[in-house]
Amino acid sequence: MYWEGAGQEMAGIIIAVSDPHIRYLMQRYAEEYGFQSIDTPGDGSVADLARRIRPQYIVLEVDSPGAAEPPALRQLRADPTTCDIPVIAYISGPVEDADPGAGYRVCLHDALMYGDFVAAVGRCAIGDGAITDGASAAGGALPQGDS
């Protein structure tokens, strides 16, 4: 979904990360790259929010590599209105090349840099690097950024 902002359309991205500092950093990165970042409500209902606004991407925190699938991801994948939204996993901690599990397009780790964020969104947009789970390929073009 797109929002009107400053005379132009902006792609939406939900950032569902518990650490307020990392969430703030991702929001700034997203906005710098041309996205409208959307905060999750306090009750953490990512799936409900995604159904209402249909973001282009979702960043979802994963407790640890190989952990059980988060309920939010399960809800997103079970709903026909949200199952095709690309989900980017965020794993806190310096985990190299961790596979966050099926259902995610790409994975972000600490220490998160702008280039990492842009590369993850880019991989979602072109469908490159999809973690196989039968989810549909990402659609849409990347918003134009200044970097």
For range 30-45, the mean pLDDT: 81
Helix ranges, the chain (H): 20-32, 46-53, 71-78, 114-126
Confidence band, pLDDT 50/70/90 cuts, at residue 78: very high
In a domain, 30, yes or no: yes
- The CATH number covering residue 60 comes to 3.40.50.2300
Residue 142 inside a domain? The answer is no
- For residue 27, name the pLDDT band (cuts at 50, 70, 90): very high
The answer to whether 58 and 13 are in contact (CB under 8 A) is: yes
Q: Decide if 132 is inside a domain.
A: no
Give me the percent of the chain exceeding a pLDDT of 90: 18
Q: Would you state the pLDDT for residue 58?
A: 92
Long-range CB contacts (within 8 A, 24+) of 112-117: 112/22, 112/25, 112/26, 112/29, 114/29, 114/32, 114/147, 117/26, 117/29, 117/30, 117/33
Looking at per-residue pLDDT, the higher value among 99 and 41 belongs to 41
Provide the domain limits for residue 37.
2-6+16-125
Over range 51-71, report the average pLDDT: 80
The pLDDT tens digits of the residues spanning 105-145 come to 777 877 678 888 888 888 887 764 443 332 223 333 333 34
147 within domain boundaries? no
Structural domains counted in the chain: 1
Output the pLDDT for position 61.
85
Establish if 130 belongs to a structural domain. Answer: no
Is 145 inside any structural domain? no
Is residue 135 a part of any domain in this protein?
no
